[in-house]
Amino acid sequence: MSNRDRAGIFTAGAKLGLSALRYNLLTRRHEHDSPANRQQYVYDFEDERTFADLIGQLPPDAAKLFETVVTRSAGDMDEISAGCGVGYFALVLFAGKGLNRNIVGGPATLTEGISVALGDRVQLGAAVQEIVHRPSSVVVRYTQHGVDHEIEARAAVLATTAALRAAADEALLRGEPLAVLRITGGVDQPHDDPTLREELGRALAGYATLEWDVHSTPEGTDPAEAILDLADELDASLLVMGSRRRRPIGKLILGSTVQKVLLESMIPVLVVKAP
């Protein structure tokens, strides 16, 4: 690494370290607040500039050191707030956890590696109905070939969409029910789509105490308007949306639906980037 790269890392690291210290002091100062208030302070921290603005211009090799950490967790440095990026580094610097384990080849290799290790013990065609957490184990209840089963283990790996998982986590944190909106081309049947409800039930099997409901939109409805209208109708405290990875030219703007919701929403919006 060149001396120029080293100098860039040192300068950016100093700015990041000071910001992480401020972030840590903020979370400690409000650790006894309600979860919703504490989360709002975190959202507001350094939210007027991007993480790229905080780090500043760096040589490519030096930038990779910071880019890798936030990209694997949230999004590109010019797509997330400075506070969001600082939060990830604060986990390492002060919490002593997070970002300290790596999966060679990326997280997509995890399920493949598990299946190879298990061999013939892998069970296919099983629909998970419920996951119950116990002090030292976890109970998985599932249906396979029309028969109900229950198995207890020390741990379970649950895969679901990033945005749905983030929304479920936020709902539990806030002690509020989760409303899932599906943009469809059919008739609005919020309670009469058994296939959708079954899919969501399996995806949310690890959230046994979470109350949730599903809504869908009629044909021709503007997605952004549907999201904003439902949030207003339910008096929601937070909107969670997924954002797909875009080509380099597409990084100049967000998707039209996400962009419109961000501009017009009267409540906080959490955009979760797909892995």
H-only helix segments in the chain: 3-29, 35-44, 51-55, 60-71, 82-90, 109-118, 162-174, 194-203, 223-234, 256-264
Q: pLDDT tens-digit profile of 210-219?
A: 899 888 776 6
Residue 2 has pLDDT above 80, yes or no: no
Mean pLDDT of all residues in 197-208: 78
The residue ranking higher by pLDDT, 214 or 70, is 214
Is pLDDT at 40 greater than 50 in this prediction? Answer: yes
Q: What confidence category does residue 7 fall into, taking pLDDT thresholds of 50, 70 and 90?
A: confident
> CA 70 to CA 89: how far, in whole Å?
9
Would you give the DSSP letter of residue 105? T
Q: Which distant-in-sequence residues (6+ apart) come within 8 Å of 196 by Cβ?
A: 182, 214, 216
Task: Give the CATH H-level superfamily of domain 162-273.
Answer: HUPs (3.40.50.620)
Separation of alpha carbons 182 and 165, rounded Å: 15
Q: What pLDDT shows up at residue 218?
A: 66
pLDDT at 192: 53
Quote the pLDDT of residue 187: 39
22 contact partners, CB below 8 Å, separation of at least 6: 45
What is the domain partition of the chain in residue ranges?
Answer: 3-95, 109-153, 162-273
> So what's the pLDDT on residue 179?
92
Predicted TM-score (pTM) of this structure: 0.43
pLDDT band, very low/low/confident/very high, at 177 (cuts 50, 70, 90): very high
Q: Is the pLDDT of residue 141 over 50?
A: yes
Instruction: Identify the pLDDT of residue 237.
Output: 92
pLDDT at residue 198 greater than cutoff 60: yes
pLDDT, greater one: 273 or 137: 137
Question: What average pLDDT does the segment 59-82 reach?
Answer: 77
Mean per-residue pLDDT over the chain, rounded: 76
